[in-house]
Amino acid sequence: MLLLGQVLTGSTQTIATKKGDHLQKTKLKVLDLGPEASGGDVYWMDFLGEAALSDDELRQITRQQVEVEVRRMNASAGKNGGAYLNATGGAIRFNGVIVQRALRSQEQQSA
């Protein structure tokens, strides 16, 4: 699924996996601007491993309109009884070009 949106904010960090490995994780807050959006839906999206953004890539897309590949969406219950929609993202395209260097090189190799 593709989502047309504006990146409002985000951060990148290194997390430890259950196996003890280290993994890059980017968390973005994205405002849905697509034609199906119901009045400004906002999603928190996680990008893991090769889909994570470097600090420079994150600065490049903050406050910009992008196209985001949504790999998975699931719902969870919050502490206060609310329901939350969680999304895991893949490639992010800005001006038609994949932002993440690792994903961009994979696409070029397969072409």
CA–CA separation, 84 and 80 (whole Å) = 11
Q: Which domain holds residue 42?
A: 2-110
Question: For every one of its 111 residues, what pLDDT tens digit does the chain have, with 9 covering 90 and above?
Answer: 899 999 999 999 999 989 989 999 999 999 999 887 776 788 899 999 999 999 999 999 999 999 999 999 988 887 888 887 789 999 999 999 999 998 988 777 776
CATH number for the domain harbouring residue 8: 2.40.50.140
Q: Note if the pTM is more than 0.75.
A: yes
The pLDDT, as a whole number, for residue 8 is 96
Domain count, the chain: 1
Sign of CA dihedral 74, 77, 78, 81: positive
| Residue 78 confidence (pLDDT) | 79
| Per-residue model confidence (pLDDT) at position 51 | 95
